A = this chain, B = another copy of it.
Amino acid sequence: MLQNEFQKIVESRRSNRSFDPNVEIPNEVIERALKNAILAPNSSNMQLWEFQWIESRECLDALIPLCLNQSAAKTAKHMVVFITRKDKWRSRAKWNYEKIKESLDGRPGKLQNRALNYYKKLIPLVYFNDPIGIASFLRKLTSFLLGIQKPFYRLGGKAEQRIVVHKSCALAAQNFMLSIAAEGLHSCPMEGFDKKRVKRLLQLPIGAEINMIISVGKGTEKGVWGPRYRVPFDEVVKRK
């Protein structure tokens, strides 16, 4: 049972906002953390994510002012920009389809056929968009009408699509941060940055969005701003 070890890792993970300038972080640490990130569960295994690992001094220096010069950025040895890539849905659906096809060593069974149909027919229904929003409107209308009589999956618009990819990306981000903590090192997830300029710096297409930027280093005492506060367990957990 690894529960005790997991407990220790979760408890040792605190956001640290000031890293030790004298401790370098080996590339292997980031690589392992990224490999763990990728193993997170994600919506329909679409993996609509990208990770830009910033490690050159030049690129770090360009990113710091875009993170509004916060100390977690200024003192970071590495930064990883977690990015959603909703725009890649077509190629990822195809990739999943091909993977399932490849794995078949004969005629597809019922389960495989369902999976193939899922990526060929259902995913396009969920992710397709047009400039005016007709697809979104029709999705919502269909869900509403079919949902009157019985439970039905509520297809969403652009905002819901964005939420789905950001959620999956955050699952990966948490794996990443815990992995760093498991190495006895520290991280800080940042949302305070100029997303427009970061996208430009990293030459990202319109359909990409920054999920969060995570800086990594050896934390210092002054990097932790205070005790960890949480609202009481019974206020956020309801048992039914």
| Residues of A near any B CB (own CB < 8 A) | 1-3, 5-11, 13, 15, 32, 34-36, 38-41, 43, 45, 47, 49-56, 59, 65-66, 68, 92, 95-96, 99-100, 103, 111, 115, 147, 151-154, 158-159, 162-164, 166-171, 173-175, 177-179, 182-184, 189, 191-197, 202, 211-212, 225-231, 233, 236-240
Say which residue of B3, B45, B182, B238 sits within 8 Å of A6 (CB atoms).
B182
Measured in the bound complex, the distance between the Cα atoms of B174 and A175 in whole Å is: 7
The residue that A182 contacts in the complex, of B1, B36, B173, B229, with Cβ under 8 A, is: B1
Q: Are B163 and A226 in contact (CB under 8 A)?
A: no
Task: Return chain B residues, CB-CB under 8 Å to A40.
Answer: 174
Residue of B whose beta carbon sits closest to that of A50 = B236
Complex Cα spacing A49 to B236, Å: 7
A115, closest chain B residue (CB): B225
Assess the A53–B238 pair: CB atoms within 8 A. yes
What CA separation (Å) do A194 and B144 show in the bound complex? 11
Bound together, the chains give a CA A40 to CA B11 distance in angstroms of: 9
Q: A5-B2, A34-B233 are in contact. Are A164 and B178 (CB under 8 A)?
A: no
Choose among B50, B169, B184, B194 the residue that contacts A238 (Cβ–Cβ < 8 A): B50
List of B residues within 8 angstroms of A226 by Cβ: 100, 103
Report yes or no: B3 in contact with A32, Cβ–Cβ below 8 A: yes
Whether A236 and B38, one on each chain, are in contact in the complex, defined by CB atoms closer than 8 angstroms, is yes
The complex places the Cα of A230 from the Cα of B225 at a distance, in Å, of 38
CA distance A179 to B38 in the complex (A): 18
Whether A192 contacts B8 by the Cβ 8 Å rule is no
10 further interface pairs, Cβ-Cβ under 8 Å (given A1-B184, A11-B39): A2-B182, A5-B9, A6-B182, A13-B39, A38-B233, A53-B239, A95-B231, A103-B226, A159-B159, A167-B169
